Amino acid sequence: MKKLKDAPPPIPGGEPADAVRRRLVFAGIATAGLAGCGGGSSGTHMAAESPPAPNVTAPTGSGWPSLPMLQNTSGPGQFSAALTASPTTANFLPGIATQILAYNGTTPGPMIDAYEGDAVRIRFTNRLDQDTTVHWHGLPVPASEDGNPMNPVAPGTSRDYAYTLPIGSAGTYWYHPHPHETTPEQVYRGLAGIFIVRSRTDPLATLPERLVVITDLRLDATGQIAANTATDLANGREGDQVLVNGAHQPVDTIAPGATERWRVLDATNGRYLRLVLDGGPMWVVALDGCSLPGPMAVSELLLAPGQRAEVVVRAPVTSGQKLVLRTIAYNRGAMVPIAPPVKLLEITTTQAAALAPITLPASLPAPPPLPMNLATAQTVVLSDMGMGMGASGTGRFTINGKSFDPTRDDITMKAGVPEEWIVRNAGMMDHPLHIHGTSFQLVASTRANIASDPRLNAFMDTVNLISGEQIRIRLRIDTPGRRMFHCHILEHEAQGMMGVINIAA
Ligand code: C2O
Ligand code: CU
Ligand code: CU
């Protein structure tokens, strides 16, 4: 919090007009907010502010780390497997065993690779010393199978998660814990994995694929994962080093001119990834679990925590050239210094003869648009400015003025009936809103540049709202039950920025 001491005074009145001003406004007002909630009613583990760790940085430049695959023990049409969450150790630093939590012993967890139509049955065992769940982020699974905080798996017990992957659900998803209040800690200690659903008619199926699962890591002076600080709880945790498939700035080679599909996942608790690719073009072909209507060339792409994108990239045509994926500064309005730009990975072209460029299909299997002219069924207001801890139990992070209560239904809907929602970010920093069990269509935003944004009219399950932004989304949830919706900055989710949608049959 040192930054606050010399923060400028708040700028009175008016809506923040640009990024710099937004940051100043936030720094000013937040001083009061923090004083009001300094006691911290949160149930998450929180350490005292510790001095910055000395330079405990994992070595860079390892070969390409491919992810282990979750073994399917059934034949075609089914996906049966066993998944266990347990404490173990990892060697991020030479000679140091860092305590982590892992799915089947690795972080990130094993990649799940299944097909549309598959009947999935995953036997999950909890070997942690606390409750957990497995949530299938973005997948339209029945509410009972979605790993909601209301359905914990107790330590030492197992349960099956069983669901069918609907036709039309092909895309890039992920899985992670979703227990009440302890989700942030379980995720930053290592529990997260990518989940790919394939289509048998994928127009991009011939492209070689690369998985880019991004996590971040903060180690203390002894090489152990540092606990969340008050700053993390307020702003969302950002680790000190950003890992790709568990490795720090891995390198690889590629044939000159090669075209690849990269599936990129932001599995961090609170880090925004404003991605740029040096050395070649980049086309977005899917956001979260859904194809765009066609490939869209972009010079940069913002991923908020929880989001995925599929991009097609092309390597330079001469040998010894590099493709470098890196981040550039993004001001998310938080009361922390803007995360410094980082290099994520580096891929060098080989001596081989250049491959001919592959022409991308002009159209891709985007979901059909939802009906227009729907009446507004819900208005959802996100806030990060509650003053905390009243008798109402309402804390700083709220949706429609309320902190999460697992027993309360915040929104009711009817299964299979499309609705339009207005969502507004009345807070001071960006918040990525995520809705379980469906993908929604972003149809409008008050943001000035939305018309050129690949997200406009696209389907996604997580959408970032900047401070003051108001959007309209259309959504339909096909199966009944109680579903979560929340900010995907996990520290905000755990401190109350979550609600329940009850979908009636
Ligand atoms: Cu990825 Cu409710 O979460
Ligand atoms: Cu989810
Ligand atoms: Cu948030």
Neighbours of ion ligand 3 (CB under 5 A): 431, 487, 489, 492
| Strand intervals (E) in 238-391 | 241-244, 247-248, 251-254, 259-266, 273-278, 282-287, 290-297, 301-303, 308-314, 322-327, 343-349, 376-383
Does some domain include residue 370? Answer: no
With a pLDDT cut of 90, the percent of the chain lying above it is 86
How do residues 116-163 score in pLDDT, each as one tens digit? Answer: 999 999 999 999 999 999 999 999 999 999 999 999 999 999 999 999
What is the CATH number for 215? 2.60.40.420
Tokens at residue 101, please?
Answer: 């939590």
Bigger pLDDT: 111 or 385? 111
Say how many Å lie between the CA of residue 428 and the centre of ligand 3.
Answer: 10
CA dist 275 and 238 (Å) reads 16
Distant-in-sequence, close-in-space partners of 368: CB < 8 Å, separation ≥ 6 = none
Ligand nearest to the CA of 464: 3
CA dist 427 and 16 (Å) reads 11
189 shares a domain with 246: no
Does some domain include residue 63? Answer: no
217 shares a domain with 184: no
The residue type found at 74 is S
Other Cβ atoms less than 10 A from the Cβ of 418: the count is: 16
Number of structural domains the chain divides into: 3
CA distances from residue 378 to 416, 424, 431, 457 in whole angstroms, order as listed: 16, 11, 18, 19
Q: Residue 259 in contact with residue 313, Cβ under 8 Å?
A: yes
Q: Return the pLDDT at 427.
A: 97
Does some domain include residue 369? Answer: no
499 shares a domain with 405: yes
Q: Return the pLDDT at 250.
A: 98
240 shares a domain with 191: no
Boundary (domain end) residue, out of 198, 219, 248: 198
Q: Whose CA is nearest to atom 1 of ligand 1?
A: 137
Nearest to 169 by CA among 117, 208, 204, 134: 117
* CA torsion, ordered 163, 167, 170, 176, to nearest 10 deg: -10
430 shares a domain with 402: yes
Boundary (domain end) residue, out of 172, 198, 224: 198
Does some domain include residue 319? Answer: yes
Does some domain include residue 301? Answer: yes
Does some domain include residue 21? Answer: no
Mean pLDDT over 440-463 rounds to 96
Does some domain include residue 32? Answer: no
CA dist 382 and 345 (Å) reads 34
Boundary (domain end) residue, out of 299, 334, 349: 349
Q: Return the pLDDT at 355.
A: 97
Say how many Å lie between the CA of residue 17 and the centre of ligand 3.
Answer: 20
Q: Hunting for tokens 């350490």 — which residue is that?
A: 47
Q: Is pLDDT above 90 for 350? A: yes
Q: Is pLDDT above 60 for 81? A: yes
Q: Return the pLDDT at 10.
A: 32
Give the gyration radius of the chain's Cα atoms. 22
Structural domain that includes position 299 = 209-349
151 shares a domain with 98: yes
- The pTM score is 0.89
Ligand 1 nearest atom to the CA of residue 176, by list position: 1
Ligand nearest to the CA of 306: 1
Of the pLDDT bands very low, low, confident and very high (cuts 50, 70, 90), residue 382 is: very high
> What is the distance in angstroms between the CA of the first residue and the CA of the last residue of the chain?
48
How do residues 27-56 score in pLDDT, each as one tens digit? Answer: 322 222 232 232 333 333 344 444 444 457
Q: Is the dihedral angle over the CA atoms 284, 290, 292, 293 positive or is it negative?
A: positive
234 shares a domain with 102: no
Q: Return the pLDDT at 94.
A: 92
173 shares a domain with 153: yes
Does some domain include residue 221? Answer: yes
Go through 38-64 and write b for each residue having 16 or more CB atoms within 10 A of its CB, e for each that does not.
eebebebebeeeeeebeebebeeebeb
Q: Return the pLDDT at 386.
A: 78
Q: Return the pLDDT at 143.
A: 98
102 shares a domain with 126: yes
250 shares a domain with 338: yes
SS3 label, residue 371: coil
Cβ of residue 178 lying under 6 Å from some atom of ligand 1: yes
339 shares a domain with 239: yes
Least confident of 9-18, 260-269, 461-470: 9-18
Q: Is pLDDT above 70 for 496? A: yes
182 shares a domain with 106: yes
